[in-house]
Amino acid sequence: MLTFEKDEFKERIRKTKERMSNQGIEVLIATHPANMNYLSGYDGWSFYVHQGLIILIDQDEPIWFGREQDSNGARLTTWLSADNIKGYQDDYVQSLVKHPMSFVANILKNRGYDDKNIGVEMDNYYFTPRCLGQLRTDLPCAEFKDATLIIPRVRLIKSERELKYMKMASRIVENVMQVAIDTIEPGVREGDAAANVYHAQISGTKEYTGDYTAIAPIMPSGERTSTAHLTWTDRKYQKGDVVLLELAGSKYKYHAPLSRTVFIGEPPKDLTEIAKVVVEGLNQTLDFIKPGITCEEVEEKWRKSISGSKVVKESRVGYAYGLNYPPDWGEHTASLRPGDKTILKEGMTFHFMPGIWLDKFGFENSEPFYVTSNGCETFVDFPRKLFIK
């Protein structure tokens, strides 16, 4: 089943080729699974082996390549014709003497594209130094260019159908967050709370189930909340604990991330004050956001909103996000930080994440939002506050 109409996929291809042309790229090899999904619909847990799409500037349809046993997955989930689904034999898989990029090189040779300007995604998790080295060896007449951001820049602006899926994911995360908060009690193991979170993520709503998320549930407690990305342990919650929850819902791999903070017992004054400053700063910044301003202007507004308080945040306060696969739901394009002059446009989606991590504890309260014609709207309806158990 296709999650989008074929015409939407073709429009994405058109925009991608426009960017390819602007950069003098005649062939694009896309290996990031989110980029593959975006242009073709391909959806499988096969990104542990080399796979991708080949986009030829003068051909209407991309070519899928991957492990032969995943070829039927491409036939089931993409809009591509059978002639453009190419599976390599298993002796290419994790071999010391053969490499799947030689298979890709042969496709290009057979079609007469072995001496073109070829774009590759040099800075993603799925394209290795050996991939590039093998392509250069097998295609000595080609020129290779960095095309890491070509497709992600197209992905920045979401269609109505994409926003619909992100709103579906938002309904899931509202339930997920409530389940997490309800589970946190003295004596409960962090791992058992995480198990409940996973159940809620996959069971979704009464109307539809959820997908696996690109990031595991981030839910440390106690002193472990002084850092940003720890998961769960065997530890049992106890009175006096701070608990950070960075969770998400996902539908068709479109995400809705959300962070909240829980305190078990009577919260200390400094945590209460930080929570108040962060939530008020978040509210002021969301009211400021509209098309035409830049990412760095959003961060500047946030910084001004907390000036005079004890709250200091040196890292970025948000990032573009949407469709993705492990290990990250961020799009690796625009960030809400000084120096990022990306102009906000209607249809862009961001996770506003003003997380604060101090020496002994942390506080998180985030909001995913999308840019509208005259401002922004948040995806999730969930109280912005420090939760006290």
pLDDT at 211: 98
Cβ neighbors of 137 (< 8 A, separation 6 or more) are none
pLDDT at 114: 97
Q: What is the pLDDT of residues 127-157, one digit of tens each?
A: 999 999 999 999 999 999 999 999 999 999 9
Average pLDDT over the chain, rounded to whole? 97
The CA angle 93-99-104, to the nearest 5 degrees, is 110
Asked if residue 313 has pLDDT above 90, the reply is no
What is the location of CATH 3.40.350.10 in the chain?
6-155
Asked if residue 311 has pLDDT above 90, the reply is no
pLDDT at 278: 96
CA distance 231 to 212: 16
CB distance 272 to 386 below 8 Å:
yes
Q: Is 72 helix (H, G, I), strand (E, B) or coil?
A: helix
The listed CATH number (3.40.630.30, 2.60.40.1080, 3.90.230.10, 3.40.50.10680) that belongs to domain 160-388? 3.90.230.10
Asked if residue 308 has pLDDT above 90, the reply is no
What is the location of CATH 3.90.230.10 in the chain?
160-388
Asked if residue 312 has pLDDT above 90, the reply is no
Residue with tokens 């080949």: 54
How many C-alpha atoms does 370 have within 13 Å on its Cβ side? 22
CA distance 309 to 333: 30
* H helix and E strand count, the chain: 10, 16
Asked if residue 310 has pLDDT above 90, the reply is no
**196-213: average pLDDT:** 98
Q: What is the DSSP string of 15-69?
A: HHHHHHHHTT-SEEEE--HHHHHHHH----S-TTS--EEEEETT-SS-EEEEEGG
CA distance 354 to 83: 48
Give 119's strand partners: 28, 145
The secondary element (H helix, E strand) that includes residue 160 is helix 160-183
Q: What is the pLDDT of residues 178-194, one digit of tens each?
A: 999 999 999 999 999 99
Asked if residue 324 has pLDDT above 90, the reply is yes
User: Residue 206: pLDDT band by 50, 70, 90 thresholds?
Assistant: very high
Fold adopted by 6-155: Creatine Amidinohydrolase; Chain A, domain 1 (3.40.350)
**321-347: average pLDDT:** 98
CA distance 29 to 32: 9
